[in-house]
């Protein structure tokens, strides 16, 4: 399996949508990691990672362990435990078209909340 930067139209469209959402969160930085994944970070800690394997885009989001468990237990779930970091609550979505955007946005917000310092969280809670 090879990991690549997002190059397919579907992958680029997905990252554009996630980028537009993450840009609304305080102090989020987009960075390419050592594997070529697009990551969205706060205080240099990732909460969303996007990449492609063999032309199939996927999105990994940092969630609470109970959220991860709930998502993975659903029947015919589009979610799977993220390789290598799943034990820390990360879930991956192989096909974002199978998940309502509002659910993805909620998960990204949860990932941000699990990663950002309390001072930054206060800024999004007062919006």
Domain limits, the chain: 3-118
Which range (26-30, 65-69, 87-91, 116-120) has the least confidence?
Answer: 116-120
| pLDDT score for 108 | 98
| pLDDT score for 1 | 43
Which of these CATH numbers, 3.40.50.1820, 3.20.20.70, 1.10.3720.10, 3.90.1150.30, describes 3-118?
3.90.1150.30
Sequence-distant (≥ 6) Cβ neighbours of residue 114 within 8 angstroms: 47, 62, 63, 64, 89
Q: If 0-12 CB within 10 Å is exposed, 13-18 middle and 19+ buried, where does residue 79 land?
A: buried
pLDDT at residue 125 above 70? Answer: no
pTM of the full predicted structure?
0.92
Tally Cβ neighbours within 10 Å of residue 46: 20
Residue written as tokens 């990663």? 115
């Amino acid at each position: 399996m090879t990991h690549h930067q997002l190059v397919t139209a579907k992958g680029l469209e997905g990252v554009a949508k996630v980028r537009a959402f993450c840009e609304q969160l305080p102090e989020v930085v987009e960075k390419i990691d050592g594997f070529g994944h697009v990551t969205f970070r706060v205080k240099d800690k990732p909460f969303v990672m996007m990449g492609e394997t063999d032309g199939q885009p996927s999105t990994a989001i940092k969630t609470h362990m109970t959220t991860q468990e709930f998502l993975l237990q659903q029947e015919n779930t589009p979610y799977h435990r993220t390789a290598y970091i799943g034990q820390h609550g990360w879930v991956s979505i192989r096909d974002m078209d199978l998940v309502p955007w509002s659910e993805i946005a909620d998960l990204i917000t949860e990932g941000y909340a699990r990663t950002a310092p309390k001072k930054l969280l206060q800024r999004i809670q007062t919006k």
